[in-house]
Structure 1
């Protein structure tokens, strides 16, 4: 429950946008494993990783100004799909880092990668696909419309970033979704 509250607070009270930070820049969030994050095997529960990544996503979007832009435009985002790869478990009181970054976007969605490490060792990698929609009409907002607004807000009017080529594993994963999700 506390991770949901932490995520809500991070979303509702976003950190100030960091000058010079673009949508493509990584953001590192340092967190600690708490008792409520554990399952009966005394390791972080697989579902908890998504909550941890949610906290890091909100921090990432707050620091690059996307949360303020979304609030101003009455947009909200939701998860369309996610994929996870677990390597090493996290245990009670472990400090770890979630490095979140946007590896790219397509016509409909943003992809956000989360790499969770402890002492430099990979523990978990997740890729989460987000779609933004207008709050009242529920009409989708194209990332191609959002990125120029973010660039303008960040002072990069002449250098609007293009989506980098998505990693091959992300492309293969996205193609594997049923047509209804596209």
Structure 2
């Protein structure tokens, strides 16, 4: 429940925008493991990682100053697909960082990487395909339109091979046929 409250605050009372921050610049969220994050084995529950990723993505949007423009456009983000690879456990009171960055986009979704590190050691890596919907109608907003709103004239980088393969495997990639 604590991460849901943290997400609520990160979304309704976002941190200040970072001047000059671009869509392709990484965003860092610093967190600490709380008792409510733990499972019976006393390490962070796998589902809590997803909630932490939600908080970090809200901070990413805040760093861009994106909440105002998105609200004005009537668009909101949703997760189309995600996967996480776990390397090292996070345990009670550990301080760690989540670095969120855009890897690229196609006509349908924006692809993000979210990396968990503790004192420089990789703990987990999440990949996410995010989509934006129009409030009220639920219509999909093309990813290039969202990037244009948040990042102005940004050229999409080539998607890493592993992410492109994953996007096809989970059927979120843009289809030309």
SS in 2 for 1:98: strand
Please provide the CA RMSD for this pair: 1.6
| Residue 174 (structure 1) aligned to one of 167, 172, 175 | 167
- Whether the 8 Å contact between 2:86 and 2:123 is mirrored in structure 1 is yes
Question: Which blocks of at least 5 consecutive residues in structure 1 are unaligned?
Answer: 153-159
Task: Spell out structure 1 runs of 4+ moving beyond 6 A.
Answer: 179-182
| Counterpart mapping for 1:2-151 below 5 A | 2-151=2-151
* TM-score, L = length of structure 2: 0.94
Superposed CA offset, 1:11-41 (max 9, x none): 1112222210011100111100000000000
Gaps of 5+ in 2: none
CA contact (8 A) 1:115 1:122 kept: yes
| Deviation for aligned residue 1:127 | 0.8
Once the two structures are TM-superposed, the CA of residue 100 in structure 1 deviates from its matched residue by 0.6
The verdict on how the C-alpha distance between 1:104 and 1:178 changes in structure 2, with shifts beyond 3 A counting, is closer
1:111 deviates by: 1.1
Count of residue correspondences = 175
Could you give the per-residue CA deviations for residues 145-177 of structure 1, whole angstroms, max 9, x where no partner exists? 12222234xxxxxxx111111111110100102
Q: Indicate if the aligned counterparts of 1:62 and 1:68 stay in contact, CA closer than 8 A.
A: no
